[in-house]
Amino acid sequence: MANSFPHGTVHEAAEDLQSALRSDASVYQLWVKLTPLARNEFICWVDDARQAKTRQRRIQRTVEELLEGKKRPCCWAGCIHRTDKTPGRWQQAVLIDRKGRDQPGLDGPAEKANATTTPDAIGDH
């Protein structure tokens, strides 16, 4: 039988994320109701984690945020893998080129907040 799990526009959810979302029928229904683009944002955010511990924390937050009624991951700059839009200056510099957040001229949310975090912690509270 084919995997009928609803994925994103670019990314496919890995087994650990699928399992967490399917473990609660109400969470799974919230996932199904999301647009493919919204699902893609959650999947990319989870997949972007460099460490297993961060990935697990993001999977748990995905479940929590869905239950809170959120349609996108909180504090996530957005998927940089989409081909239907060009990344913004901040996304290009910080997420793609990995130049860091203290570069002059970057007007992203992290610079405005004067925050200093590692790339792996982007989007984690």
Q: Report the C-alpha dihedral over residues 57, 38, 15, 20, rounded to 10 degrees.
A: 50
Per the listing, tokens 């405005």 go with 112
Side-chain-side CA neighbours of 97 within 13 Å: the count stands at 13
- What tokens does 117 get? 């975090």
pLDDT per position as a tens digit, 84-123 = 777 677 677 766 787 765 555 545 444 444 444 445 555 5
The whole model's pTM is what?
A: 0.68
Q: How far is the C-alpha of 89 from the C-alpha of 48, rounded, in Å?
A: 19
